[in-house]
Amino acid sequence: MNRSSDTLTIGGLARQSGVNIDTVRYYERRRLVPKPSRSVSGYRKFPREMVTRIRFIKHAQALGFTLKEIGDLLSLRIESDATCRSVRSRAEAKIADITGKIRSLERMKQTLERLTLSCRRSGSASECPILESLNGEDGLL
């Protein structure tokens, strides 16, 4: 029995999930949210549990997971033979990825700090060591 109180329109789903309607449509196109049934008048009828799913997606994104990775995590939730170890290994892989990005950002920051220290603040922009380094000729990057 599918009463209208058991379902949400796309606007209601978006509101309760804290996203906009285009986000719901995007998740639907990416198959993170299953295609809903439609009312006689053609409106999408989303089950209320989609609010939890969209919140899950948003929280996972905030932790750095890509939409593909989130799709994999959602699949693990419904696979009968999936284990917590599978989820943990994905989280550990994400930690390693984030650690690599932090190292890369630190190197970028250090390079920019060295470049700004080498800038004399006077003279022509065409002679600026910062711009020169972006040519890749001085080996600073």
pLDDT in tens, 25-66: 999 999 999 999 999 999 999 999 999 999 999 999 999 999
Q: Where are the domains positioned within the chain?
A: 1-63
Q: What is the pTM of this model?
A: 0.78
CA distance 107 to 103: 6
The number of beta carbons lying within 10 Å of the beta carbon of residue 128 is 16
pLDDT(115) > 80: yes
Question: Given CA atoms 58, 59, 65, 71 in this order, what sign does their dihedral have?
Answer: negative
Query: What is the structure's pLDDT at 75?
Result: 94
CA distance 91 to 63: 10
Range 7-11 average pLDDT: 96
pLDDT(133) > 70: yes
Query: What is the structure's pLDDT at 134?
Result: 83
Taking a C-beta distance cutoff of 8 angstroms, is the pair 41, 4 a contact? no
Query: What is the structure's pLDDT at 76?
Result: 92
For the structural domain made of 1-63, what CATH number should be given?
1.10.1660.10
Q: Which residue has the higher pLDDT, 47 or 130?
A: 47
Q: Which residue has the higher pLDDT, 2 or 115?
A: 115
